[in-house]
Amino acid sequence: MASLLLANGVRALRRSPRAGTPRGAFCLMGVCQECVLTIDGVVRQACLVAARDGMAVSRPGLAA
Ligand code: FES
């Protein structure tokens, strides 16, 4: 999922809860937690989820 979003120009995946600054995928291997999204109603690391048609994705603090 994270790679698909990056390939389509989506860099900001969430906002920092403390500073409110945009955050995006960093490690792309499940370590940094910077890519956390709500995917099909579950909070998950986008870099560990394979994208498929029909998924519901939202970015915490950002427009869908
Ligand atoms: S980019 Fe680091 S956990 Fe997903």
Pocket of ligand 1 (CB under 6 A): 2, 25-28, 30-35, 45, 47
Report the atom number in ligand 1 closest to the C-alpha of 33: 3
The model scores a pTM over 0.85: yes
pLDDT tens across 6-56, in order?
999 999 999 988 999 999 999 999 999 999 999 999 999 999 999 999 999
Indicate if the pLDDT at residue 63 is higher than 70. no
Residue 58 contacts by C-beta under 8 Å, 6 or more apart in sequence? Answer: 37, 38, 64
Phi, psi dihedrals of residue 32, rounded to the nearest 5°: -85, -20
Phi, psi dihedrals of residue 58, rounded to the nearest 5°: -135, 150
Q: What pLDDT does 48 receive?
A: 98
Residue 60 contacts by C-beta under 8 Å, 6 or more apart in sequence? Answer: 14, 15, 36, 37, 38
